[in-house]
Amino acid sequence: MTSSLTFTPPAIPSHDEPDWSQVTCIPVKGCDSPLVPTSLGPSCLKVYPAYARLGIPGAVNECLVRRAVYQRLLQAARALPEGLSLVVMDGWRPWRVQQYLFETLYQSLKTHDPSLCEAQLLARTREFVSLPSRDPDAPSPHLTGGAVDVTICDADGLLLEMGTLFDEATPESHADYFERHPPGVDTPQAAARDNRRLLYHVMTQAGFTNLPSEWWHFDFGDQLWAWYRGEPEALFGPAEMDSIESLWKRSLQ
Binding residues for Zn(2+): 142, 149, 217
Taking a C-beta distance cutoff of 8 angstroms, is the pair 248, 43 a contact?
no
Taking a C-beta distance cutoff of 8 angstroms, is the pair 183, 199 a contact?
no
Active-site option among 127, 172, 214, 240 = 214
User: Rounded to an integer, what distance in angstroms lies between the CA atom of residue 173 and that of residue 119?
Assistant: 22
Taking a C-beta distance cutoff of 8 angstroms, is the pair 133, 140 a contact?
yes
User: Rounded to an integer, what distance in angstroms lies between the CA atom of residue 73 and that of residue 150?
Assistant: 9
3-state secondary structure of 37: strand
- 17 in catalytic set: no
Nearest Cα residue to 63 out of 251, 165, 216? 216
User: Rounded to an integer, what distance in angstroms lies between the CA atom of residue 235 and that of residue 220?
Assistant: 9
Per DSSP, which regions of the chain are E strands? 35-37, 45-47, 64-66, 85-90, 147-153, 209-210, 217-219
First to last CA, the chain: 53
Q: Which residues contact 135 (CB under 8 A, 6 or more apart)?
A: 238
Q: Which residues are catalytic?
A: 214
